[in-house]
Structures are given as C-alpha cells and as structure tokens.
Amino acid sequence: MRKNIVAGNWKMNTTLQEGVELANEINTLLEGKSKNCEVVICVPFTHLTSVNAVIEPSIIGLGAENCSEHESGAYTGEVSASMVKSTGATHVILGHSERRQYFGENNEQLLAKTKQALANGLTPIFCVGEVLEERENGTYNDVVRSQVEALFSLSADDFAKIIIAYEPVWAIGTGKTATAEQAQDMHANIRHTIEEKYGKELADNTSILYGGSCKPGNAPELFAKPDVDGGLIGGAALKADSFIGIIEAFN
Ligand code: PEP
C-alpha cells in the first residue's frame, strides 16, 4: 500500500547553522514519538551533509530540492544526482513550480532529471500543478495530466519509485489553500491518469502529496481525503512546531 508522507521544502532559506539547528530540533521532537507517516526534509545543497549528520535516518529522510539532468562534467554550478546521493540524501524534489517558472525547466529536462535521480537511487518528489489562469479558465486537469504524462516513457518499475506532489501554483506561499475537495478531485484525476498508463495496482500504490499553504490547521481535513497521501510543505516546514503539527495530522 502507498505511504503517507510529510515532506518539507525549505527552499532558499536558512544559513547552514540555522538549518542544522532546525533539523536537530525536528529530529529531537520526533524522537520516541509514534507517527503515522514518513517524514522527509528537503534542504539546500549546502546543508545536506551537515543535516544528515544530525538526523536519524529511521526518523527523518533527507532530500535535495533539485538536481542536474546531466550525469557529470562541464556544467559549472550544477549539482548531480550522484553528488546528492553521496551526501546521504534519499530524496530529491523535481519540477517544483518555482524551478519551472524562474528557471524555465521543461518537461524534457524534468524527465532527464528524474532519470538521473532514479539511476542514482534517489526517490523523486515530482511536482505538478496549474497556475491561477489555468484554474480559472478550466484547463487545470489537462495541464496537470500533461505534466504527469511527461514521465510516461519511464518503465513501470521506475515510475513506481516516484512520489507525486500536486501543488496548485496559486496556493504556494500565498496563504490560499486549495479546498480539501479541490485537492481530492485533482489527486483522483492524477491517480486515474497513472492507472490508465500503468494499471490500478501501481496507481493505488503511488503516494500523491498536496502542497500549497498547508498548515497544522488545514492539514487534518486535507489528509483525510482518500487520495491525499500527505503534504509537501514550504513555509510551515521552517518552524519545528508547525512542521510537527502537520505530521500530527496523521495521528
Ligand atoms: C512549496 O513551495 O512546496 C509549498 C507548498 O509552499 P507553501 O507551503 O509555503 O505554500
């Protein structure tokens, strides 16, 4: 069966020292606590090794926020999937809307990044989601479907290793959450799209997370929906108490 997962996306926040302190605090608060979901924190590249040293892998998984679509070589400033893996990380966020919007990442590149991540044993947290205009003009289902379909050249074995995160762009960092019904509808559509390509069993086993202004106050309602398997959390992942509050929505 699919897993419930709460993953934090720290984005470009915290110095190394602040990040280590935050990771340590989250790890300490979760130690000895029973939780009904997996927890992952996705942190800046610069923080990976040091954060890995202060978290217990059985309590918190560690992820990067991006990786290169190239294996290695003359790509100044890029960080490869094998470099990420060598820090001890287990996950990588790919296709976040900020990467698509500000860095022009397209479906072709994102497929290449996903292949690099998988080839290096990292679990991709693959983000999809429509912008406000697409929500308002009614094309949102088609937009998200085509973002998911960008991965459909992967084998079933490879696709089965991916976590999908549905993040309506209009809800990210805006304080505007999709309603639990809007999230459920889209998650069900995504699962159906996956089922059409890879079959019911694989679709049922795929974890689909919701992201977009998720907080301790709205997480229980969102996570109660049958196709919402957890959250990808931005702002609320930067404070240990609010991140833990969201994790507790699964208790
Ligand atoms: C995100 O960027 O992945 C996100 C969900 O951000 P926020 O929770 O701040 O809306």
What's the whole-model pTM score? 0.98
pLDDT, mean over the chain: 97
Hey, whose CA ends up nearest to atom 2 of ligand 1?
234
Q: At what angle do helices 180-198 and 140-149 cross, to 10 degrees?
A: 40
Task: Judge if the beta carbon of residue 178 lies within 6 A of ligand 1.
Answer: no
Give residue 175's domain range.
5-250
Helix, strand or coil for residue 250? helix
pLDDT tens figures, 161-186: 999 999 999 999 888 889 999 999 99
Arithmetic mean of pLDDT, 142-157 = 98
CATH number of the CATH domain containing 177:
3.20.20.70
Q: Which of 213, 222, 238, 239 to mutate to test the pocket of ligand 1 (most atoms within 8 A of CB)?
A: 213
pLDDT for position 23: 98
Residue 70 annotated among the catalytic residues of the structure: no
Q: Structure tokens of 80?
A: 């490869």
pLDDT digits (tens, 9 = 90+) for 190-230: 999 999 999 999 999 999 999 999 999 999 999 999 999 99
pLDDT at 176 (0 to 100): 86
**Length reported for the chain:** 251
Please give the tally of structural domains in the chain: 1
Active site residue 96: yes
